[in-house]
Amino acid sequence: MTDLSALHDLLLAPGDLQLGEVARFFTGAFKADGSVVFVVDPTGRELHVGAAEPSSGAAERGLSIPVGYGVTGLVAQNGRAVTLVDDSPRNSAHRQLLRLGPDQTVSRMCLPARGLAPAIVAVLSIHRHRPVPFSEADLEGAQRLADLVGLRLYAQSLLGAAEEHQSERDRMIAHAISAQEAERRRIAGDLHDGVTQALVSLTFHLSAAEVGLAATREADVAAAGALVEIQSARRLAGLAYDETRAAISGLHSLTLDDLGLVAALKSLTQTVPQLDIEFRGDAADRLGDVPDHCAAVLYRIAQEAINNAVKHAEAERAVVSIRRAGDSVVLGITDDGVGFDVASVREQAPDSRGDHFGLSSIAERCALIGARLRIDSVEGRGTAVIVELRLVP
């Protein structure tokens, strides 16, 4: 019985399967003179040499066999193992790989390495120069082992595809968040350059009209009525101006663009006169490199959590903190207010939530950037929203 511990260790080793070691294992286990591991490429049309024992650099790189062509290509196509006696491959790179002189032949076993049906992920070719053909028992035993190699390669390719999808997904999310921020920036810019400027000049004209009318004779009842109207129009224009400014700063933080997350969070805490908010932040260089789209997400989360503290908590004090902890960045927004029953709010089905989007949007944003969210709230004691984002080195 072959000692399987070497193969077992190879199959369970982390990272990509060491194909050279696999070829060495099969050569030794079947008393052969060499082995070649042919790998089916992702298109499923060609076989390339993954490794050969003994190794022969140039020939390995130069050899590719179309699936369905020659004995090896047929095994990759129909998945049936074969033994060959006096085999003499025509392809010169293949002959070189098997170290065959012009008239030499070999005994070979060609085995499909199957992933999950119907995928054949590789072909193992094991050869002897001596005229000692491989037996049926050799073929059967080798096929079982080849399938273990096939499953391992299959799992490896699935893992690779999953990782590729994951990084594609991360790229798309980063792109979507950046596009959303750019759109907010554009709307804020348009509001600033268009609406607020118009409101400023409207207020200016109304003030001028007010001054003009005030100078007319007091006995003029019509003029006095118009004056009252103009005064209230000017007040409304002032209100509209204030609201537009507030909307602009809610839409987009210039500080975030220019000075980064720590400064933006600090300035956010200073724009909430309704609540006494303390800011505790690590210096930006200690915090580490938070990708732009993640910084935008953390900023929006802080904005919503502060809004909630102002709207619902009846708090006296709040603390906003941003700190580095190990390889993570931790954002915290805590208040000493009335607290609430987190589970019952979060368990509400989306369509029965009515107009309450804040907490679910916090949870969605965390999921988008792969951050961990914890909301702790004790009735009568206050609420803590904690977001932990692992920074990928």
Ligand X SMILES: Nc1ncnc2c1ncn2[C@@H]1O[C@H](COP(=O)(O)OP(=O)(O)OP(=O)(O)O)[C@@H](O)[C@H]1O
Residues that bind ligand X (CB under 6 A): 308-309, 311-313, 335, 337-340, 345, 355-359, 383
Q: Measure the CA dihedral 182/186/192/196, to 10°.
A: -130
In this structure, the number of other CB atoms found within 10 A of the CB of residue 239 comes to 11
Is residue 244 at the binding interface for Mg ion, with CB under 5 A as the rule?
no
| 345 touches, from ligand X, Mg ion, none (C-beta below 5 to 8 Å by class) | ligand X
- The sign one gets for the Cα dihedral 51, 55, 61, 66 is negative
| 80 touches, from Mg ion, ligand X, none (C-beta below 5 to 8 Å by class) | none
* Half-sphere CA count of 346, side-chain side, radius 13 A: 14
What's the closest the beta carbon of residue 373 comes to ligand X, in angstroms? 13
Select 27 or 308, whichever has its Cβ closest to Mg ion.
308
Q: Which of residues 150-189 bind Mg ion (CB under 5 A)?
A: none
| 338 touches, from Mg ion, ligand X, none (C-beta below 5 to 8 Å by class) | ligand X
**Phi, psi dihedral angles at 379 (to 5 degrees):** -60, 130
Q: What is the residue whose two structure tokens read 């196509």?
A: 77
Residue nearest to Mg ion (CB): 358
Q: Which of residues 302-321 bind Mg ion (CB under 5 A)?
A: 308
Is residue 358 at the binding interface for Mg ion, with CB under 5 A as the rule?
yes
Select 153 or 301, whichever has its Cβ closest to ligand X.
301
In sequence order, which residues have a C-beta less than 8 Å from that of residue 349 and are 6 or more positions away?
A: none
What's the closest the beta carbon of residue 375 comes to ligand X, in angstroms? 8
Select 165 or 346, whichever has its Cβ closest to ligand X.
346
In sequence order, which residues have a C-beta less than 8 Å from that of residue 70 and are 6 or more positions away?
A: 89, 90, 91
Distance (Å, whole) CA 318 – CA 282: 18
Report the helix count and the strand count for the chain, using DSSP H and E: 14, 11
Select 269 or 308, whichever has its Cβ closest to Mg ion.
308
Select 308 or 334, whichever has its Cβ closest to Mg ion.
308
3-class DSSP state of 109: strand
What's the closest the beta carbon of residue 277 comes to ligand X, in angstroms? 12
| 204 touches, from ligand X, Mg ion, none (C-beta below 5 to 8 Å by class) | none
| 337 touches, from ligand X, Mg ion, none (C-beta below 5 to 8 Å by class) | ligand X
What's the closest the beta carbon of residue 385 comes to ligand X, in angstroms? 8
What's the closest the beta carbon of residue 364 comes to ligand X, in angstroms? 11
Q: Measure the CA dihedral 187/189/191/194, to 10°.
A: -130
- Nearest CA-CA partner of 50 in 81, 72, 78, 71: 72
Select 73 or 382, whichever has its Cβ closest to ligand X.
382
Where does residue 254 fall: left (phi above 0), alpha (psi -120 to 50 degrees), or beta otherwise? alpha
C-alpha separations of 141 from 117, 191, 309 in Å: 20, 75, 69
What's the closest the beta carbon of residue 12 comes to Mg ion, in angstroms? 49
What's the closest the beta carbon of residue 303 comes to ligand X, in angstroms? 10
In sequence order, which residues have a C-beta less than 8 Å from that of residue 376 and are 6 or more positions away?
A: 342, 383, 384, 386
What's the closest the beta carbon of residue 231 comes to Mg ion, in angstroms? 36
Select 102 or 350, whichever has its Cβ closest to ligand X.
350
User: Could you tell me the two tokens for 185?
Assistant: 């920036």
| 56 touches, from Mg ion, ligand X, none (C-beta below 5 to 8 Å by class) | none
| 355 touches, from Mg ion, ligand X, none (C-beta below 5 to 8 Å by class) | ligand X
User: Could you tell me the two tokens for 214?
Assistant: 């005030």
What's the closest the beta carbon of residue 359 comes to Mg ion, in angstroms? 7
Alpha carbon 204 to chain centroid, angstroms: 51
From the list 65-73, 159-167, 351-359, 380-388, the region that binds Mg ion by CB under 5 A is 351-359
Q: What is the residue whose two structure tokens read 């839409």?
A: 251
Q: Which of residues 252-281 bind Mg ion (CB under 5 A)?
A: none
What's the closest the beta carbon of residue 378 comes to Mg ion, in angstroms? 19
Select 151 or 272, whichever has its Cβ closest to ligand X.
272
Select 345 or 391, whichever has its Cβ closest to ligand X.
345
Residues that bind Mg ion (CB under 5 A): 308, 358
